[in-house]
Amino acid sequence: MRLILLGPPGAGKGTQAGKIAKKYNIPHISTGDIFRANIVNNTELGILAKKYIDNGELVPDGLVMDIVRDRIIQDDTKNGFLLDGFPRTLEQAMALDEMLINSNMKLDAVVKIKVNLDLLVTRITGRRICKECGATYHVDFNKPKKSDVCDLCNGELYQRSDDNEDVVRNRINVYIEQTTPLVEYYTNRDVLKIIDGEQSIDDVFNQIVKEVE
Ligand code: AP5
Ligand code: MG
Ligand code: ZN
């Protein structure tokens, strides 16, 4: 199964990706997570990416493509993969198509998680993430049992540096300008599935499974 998750910041891509990856036994490939791991490790890529991410701008296409190209040919992608937060521009989508053709691979579905824009800021500013395992919580909508501690691994929860209100508003605008053209792009390829992302986390998941199978 080869899937793409599309949707604005805070739509629930990461939350659903964890569940989908587990169900279909495919790797969850999040370009955002890859950048954040590079920032933590202070790599050259991390240093370059950080200034874009902290302003809510997109990292240049060239850097993103290098990462994805390396990642989707690794051994664990034999059963497929789930791309979260990539592609985000038409250039990235076209480059991905070319990579897939060259490797004789085909996309099964592009799942767009649709959420009203005014819900996104609340979702993002209340998000907390586990430092150890990356599990995602929300202070109101998906509370950990003990505040600031991960239910799964007891790790400490933190807030992303780009999860403040100003940066979130810019991320939403960047999404509207640069990523929404992909909706038409994938509609024309007959692979787009639109999911109502305002349901409970489990209901969103069940709807995705129904649409992709
Ligand atoms: P990235 O990490 O991809 O961030 P994003 O797209 O802004 O999306 P988020 O991770 O913020 O939201 P999400 O949809 O995953 O929501 P989540 O499930 O966590 O990218 C970060 C940055 O990296 C970009 O700004 C850019 O600079 C750079 N970058 C990355 N990829 C790039 C690319 N391809 N090209 C160029 N630059 C790139 O959920 C959010 C919250 O809501 C959580 O608290 C969750 O618990 C809660 N929630 C989830 N579902 C529900 C629900 N159904 N009901 C109630 N609450 C819910
Ligand atoms: Mg995410
Ligand atoms: Zn954890």
The residue nearest atom 30 of ligand 1, judged by CA position, is 32
Listed by start position, the domains of the chain span: 2-116+165-212
- Ligand 1 atom closest to residue 200's alpha carbon, by position in its atom list: 53
Ligand 1 pocket check for 13: Cβ under 6 Å: yes
CA distances from 18 to 75, 119, 172 (A): 19, 21, 22
Is the pTM higher than 0.85? The answer reads yes
168, 10 in Cβ contact below 8 A? Answer: yes
Distance of CA 209 to the CA centre of its chain: 17
162, 54 in Cβ contact below 8 A? Answer: yes
pLDDT digits (tens, 9 = 90+) for 116-171: 998 999 999 999 999 999 899 999 999 999 999 999 999 999 999 999 999 999 99
CB proximity list for 131: less than 8 A, separation 6 or greater = 155, 156, 157, 158
2-116+165-212 is classed in which CATH architecture?
3-Layer(aba) Sandwich (3.40)
Ligand 1 pocket check for 15: Cβ under 6 Å: yes
Ligand 1 pocket check for 35: Cβ under 6 Å: yes
Ligand 2 geometric centre to CA of 202 (Å): 17
For the segment 78-98, the average pLDDT, to the nearest whole number, is 96
